[in-house]
Chain A
Amino acid sequence: AQSVTQLGSHVSVSEGALVLLRCNYSSSVPPYLFWYVQYPNQGLQLLLKYTTGATLVKGINGFEAEFKKSETSFHLTKPSAHMSDAAEYFCAVSGSGSNYQLIWGAGTKLIIKP
């Protein structure tokens, strides 16, 4: 069965520091991979996605992620954290058994220290 693992339910970084949120997946087929962000009392917003082609994907708000097939990883990074980045981040992979379903990680809450 497919699965998505996000390491760390909470990650705390100082403002201006590097943000690294980890996502590993298991999939028997080439995956489509997604990162979403959820601000308090809001729905989820697509940050970026990998489907095919270039393995380094750039998204909104200065985030990027790199698809590494050999490591089955899709980690999210941002060079310099801002206070406005405080939110919960979800990694997801397309479900091989369904044309519609995404398999979701449990989420990582990003805390920014002043």
Chain B
Amino acid sequence: ETGVTQTPRHLVMGMTNKKSLKCEQHLGHNAMYWYKQSAKKPLELMFVYSLEERVENNSVPSRFSPECPNSSHLFLHLHTLQPEDSALYLCASSPPGSYYGYTFGSGTRLTVV
């Protein structure tokens, strides 16, 4: 257990479904991140939240919608996804700034059918 908990671990959804991924940390970190990890591709940063405000959004399609209600919780709301969105979605947290590196959760393996 790393201190960053992601649920569910596995998710299969149809292209018309709506689902949400959840991330929770109790490390006292102020920044939280969503990453996408696809086979044979580098890690892709999707969203960054610092002190519950979105500070970066790397041209992610609107079918992915993040939410950060407080500094301990981060959600990724999914709707009308495409098969190419199938991937491992990783949540991470850190103190403010990249100096410290991140603490990652175990990820949610998403399959879109």
Contact = CB atoms under 8 A, between A and B. Distances in A.
B106 A42 contact: yes
B103 A101 contact: no
Interface size for chain A: under 10, 10 to 19, 20 to 34, or 35 or more residues? 20 to 34
Interface of B: 2, 4, 6, 31, 33, 42-43, 45, 48, 50, 55-56, 90, 92, 94, 96-99, 101-107, 109
**Chief secondary structure at chain A's binding surface:** loop
Interface in A29-71: 32, 34, 36, 41-46, 49, 51
A100 B48 contact: yes
B25 to A, nearest CB: 12
Nearest to B100: A49
A46 B106 CA distance: 13
A24 interface: no
Contacts of B33: 100
